[in-house]
Amino acid sequence: MRMLTLVLATYMTSAALAEVDLRTVRWDAAREGDPFGSGIIGVARVQADGVSAMVRCSSSPDRVEVRFFLDRALVSGTAAVAWRFDTGERRTMAWTKSPNGHSLVVPRELQGSFVEQLRREDMLYLYVGDLNGAEQEVIVPLRGSSAAISRALGWCDEARGT
């Protein structure tokens, strides 16, 4: 079974996202050495007005991880996170948050389908609570993500010989 290490990182700033045309933001891809091992890492990234996302696969170890990083601290532990792609249905599920409250981890059972939707859709909307309990909307532009993610995943497959 083919599994990949994926890290999806999102950073927010307090700048108003409405001021940027997120439809013009493009993803890119790069091949890098694995800082935690001897493998190859394929990286697909996007950045738009305070929001950046990264999908990272590794040729070793053979696993999947999807993670979002936010500049605003959230409550640590496990909490409900809501999301939707484009105009799709809003879903809610418990995601794990890092001890410092800046990182969200997509549950393992969602990771495969989540990455496929990242490749197919135009926008991802995340709805997360901040330390004050207010819901924050995080917008991740996905235009061009399919080609960039495919290149990154291909480099990892190539390094594994698959």
Condensed to tens digits (0 to 9), the pLDDT of residues 50-101 reads 556 777 777 666 665 777 777 666 665 667 889 999 989 999 999 888 777 7
Angle (CA) 62-111-100 rounded to 5° is 90
Whole-number average pLDDT of the chain: 75
Q: What is the DSSP letter of 132?
A: T
pLDDT at 49 over 70: no
Preceding omega of 61 cis (within 30 degrees of 0): yes
Q: Per-residue pLDDT for 16 more than 70? A: no
Give 132's pLDDT tier (boundaries 50, 70, 90): confident
What distance in Å separates the CA atoms of residue 43 and residue 57, rounded to the nearest whole number?
A: 7
What residues form DSSP beta bridges with 67? 105
| pLDDT confidence bin for 27, thresholds 50/70/90 | confident
Instruction: Please list, in sequence order, all residues whose beta carbon lies within 8 angstroms of the beta carbon of residue 92, skipping any fewer than 6 positions away.
Output: 80, 81, 82
Residue 95, classed as helix, strand or coil, is strand
DSSP class per residue in 41-82: EEEEEEEETTEEEEEEEESSS-----EEE-SS---SEEEEEE
pLDDT band at 26 (very low <50, low <70, confident <90, very high): confident
Residue 15 pLDDT > 50, yes or no? no
Tens-place pLDDT, residues 97-121:
877 777 788 888 888 899 899 999 9
* Conformational region of residue 23, where left means phi above 0, alpha means psi within -120 to 50, and beta covers everything else: alpha
